[in-house]
Amino acid sequence: MFDFTPVGGLVTLAGVAFIALVGWRLLPSRPAPKSDADMFDIEDYITEVEILEGSKGVGRSLAEFVDLAAIDLQVLGLVRNHVRVHAPNPERPLEAGDILIIETDADELKTLVENTGVRLVGHVALAEDVVGSRDITVAEAVVMANSPLIGQCVAKLQLRRRHGINLLAVARKESRIHRRLSDIIFRNGDVLLLHGRENTLADTMSDLGCLPLARRGVNLGFRKRIPLALGIFGAAITAVLSGLLTVDVAFTIGAVAMVLTGILPIKETYTSIDWPVIVLLGAMIPVGTALETSGGAAQIARGVMALGEGVPPWALLAAILTVTMLLSAVINNAATVLLMAPIALGVARGLGYSSDPFLMAVAIGGSAAFLTPIGHQSNTLVMGPGGYRFADYLRMGIPLTVLVVVVAIPAILWFFPV
């Protein structure tokens, strides 16, 4: 279980030290991100308007009111008789005295007043004495790789009608998208500013495949279960170390225990599995097997040995480690290991060396995908919130990759002699 620890630990310490002392200086300097509403300046374009007696909105539905306004706006809520209705039905008729909470550009408010005859009322609808206002909140969430939102148009998703939430703004890389939200096509890594009821917003974000950011991420009700989760994880490791169970059996039982104890809700069990990776591995395992049984891996290994004739073992290890890292920058790291392991084994056998250092080089290389935002899910996840571009990963990734090679090769040879 911990045979990887000596080499992995040294590489980790070197990488953390590099990032803390030097690496962060290689990234472009950007203002510190704000959180929640302040990050998107939503106060600049959320407004409350009152439907006056005799105005054109009286008796019309919300949908008709939006058409009448002839501007791009969202109706986020409605206050009637001092009671707030969140995400009201578009077919609901309006009455005199209703207060609408709308999202629109400040420059178009004049057009709204002229076309509908409403009156701006400031922040009356968000006052503390309005029943239901305290239940409404905003939260930031990042669109994850497995989200059903990816590739979908905002207008077709009907978030308000289906999920009871409003989309206030979208941030993509370092830019903030406030206008024409209905035309936006969601991408992996987009940061969304969502507006909804506090008691249901977290579940809704989970259903949409979005990860809560900032302080919203600690209010999901999981903190009380952390000791139990750590206990199950520790028990699985102990079972492996003691020889009681094999790794696959121990962690499968641990995963089932997570579900049975309620740490992972049953409804999320299926969606929590990264099915694209499962399918990819299922397809790549036969490829790796065929590469070995057909003699392809041996042929590639002979080519490597011919090119590296007379080359010391550390140079071969460095070459295998580097190639593995380059492959893991563009394809899944597990798939990379499945392809490179037979080749590494072939090189080791052909030269009469121990296979351990060569396989460890593959393991380290497959875990060091720092060069691109697509090399690993974590790279993609921080791209939107951090406002990073593709080139930013190269700025940090190239020196970090070189550092991994420089540190890992001596460590591998020390702990796993050839």
Q: What is the 3-state secondary structure (H, E, C) of the chain?
A: CCCCHHHHHHHHHHHHHHHHHCHHHHCCCCCCCCCHHHHHCHHHCEEEEECCCCCCCCCCEHHHHHHHHCCCCEEEEEEECCEEEECCCCCCECCCCCEEEEECCHHHHHHHHHHHCCEECCCHHHCCCCECHHHEEEEEEEECCCCCCCCCEHHHHCHHHHHCCEEEEEEECCEEECCCHHHCECCCCCEEEEEEEHHHHHHHHHHCCEEECHHHHHCCCCHHHHHHHHHHHHHHHHHHHCCCCCHHHHHHHHHHHHHHCCCCCHHHHCCCCCHHHHHHHHHHHHHHHHHHHCCHHHHHHHHHHHHCCCCCHHHHHHHHHHHHHHHHCCCCHHHHHHHHHHHHHHHHHHHCCCHHHHHHHHHHHHCCCCCCCCCCHHHHHHHHHHCCCHHHHHHHHHHHHHHHHHHHHHHHHHHCCC
Mean pLDDT of 39-57: 68
Tokens 């020889």 map to which residue?
243
Q: What pLDDT is recorded for position 65? A: 83
Whole-structure pTM over 0.85, yes or no? no
Residue 107 is predicted with a pLDDT of 62
pLDDT recorded at residue 409: 94
Each residue's pLDDT tens digit, 59-114? 888 788 888 877 777 777 788 877 777 777 778 888 888 888 777 765 666 777 77
Q: Select the highest-mean-pLDDT range: 282-286, 378-382, 396-400.
A: 396-400
**Position of tokens 């939503």?**
42
pLDDT higher at 394 or 280: 394
Is 5:241 a contact under the CB 8 Å cutoff?
A: no
Residue 359 has pLDDT above 90, yes or no: yes
Q: Which residue has the tokens 């209705």?
A: 85
Which has the minimum average pLDDT: 30-34, 49-53, 198-202, 385-389? 30-34
* 152-206 per-position pLDDT tens digit: 887 777 777 777 777 766 777 655 555 455 667 888 778 787 777 777 777 788 7
Q: What is the pLDDT of residue 158?
A: 74
Residue-level pLDDT at 30? 56
Beta bridge partners of 83: 80, 131
> Residue type at 32?
A
Handedness of CA 157, 162, 168, 173 (dihedral sign): negative
Q: Which of 23-37, 199-213, 348-362, 371-385 has the highest mean pLDDT?
A: 348-362
pLDDT tier at 36, thresholds 50, 70, 90:
very low
Q: Is 382 exposed, middle or buried (0-12, 13-18, 19+ CB in 10 A)?
A: middle
Task: Tell me the C-alpha to C-alpha distance, in Å, between residue 372 and each of 183, 299, 380, 383, 394.
Answer: 28, 30, 9, 10, 7
Q: Which two tokens stand for residue 230?
A: 């750590």
Residue 364 has pLDDT above 50, yes or no: yes
In this predicted structure, the answer to whether residue 52 has a pLDDT above a threshold of 70 is yes
Could you tell me the pLDDT band of residue 388, with boundaries at 50, 70 and 90?
Answer: confident
pLDDT band at 233 (very low <50, low <70, confident <90, very high): very high
User: 299-308 pLDDT, tens per residue?
Assistant: 777 777 777 6
pLDDT of 40 > 60? The answer is: no
pLDDT (0 to 100) of residue 278:
76
Q: Are 26 and 87 in contact (CB under 8 A)?
A: no
Model confidence at 37, in pLDDT bands (50, 70, 90)?
Answer: very low
In the predicted model, is pLDDT for residue 232 greater than 80?
yes
User: For residue range 243-295, what is the model confidence (pLDDT) as tens digits?
Assistant: 899 988 999 999 899 888 888 777 667 766 767 767 777 777 787 777 777 77
- The rounded distance, in Å, linking the Cα atoms of 115 and 138 is 30
Is the pLDDT higher at 42 or at 219? 42
The confidence band for 224, taking pLDDT boundaries of 50, 70 and 90, is: low
CA distances from 310 to 43, 305, 306, 316 (A): 69, 9, 9, 10
Mean pLDDT of 360-376: 88
Can you give the pLDDT at residue 337? 86
Q: What sign does the dihedral 183-188-191-197 (CA atoms) show?
A: positive
Mode of pairing for the β-strands spanning 83-86 and 74-80:
antiparallel
With bands split at pLDDT 50, 70 and 90, how would you rate the model's confidence at 311? confident
pLDDT of residue 15: 93
Looking at per-residue pLDDT, the higher value among 221 and 135 belongs to 135
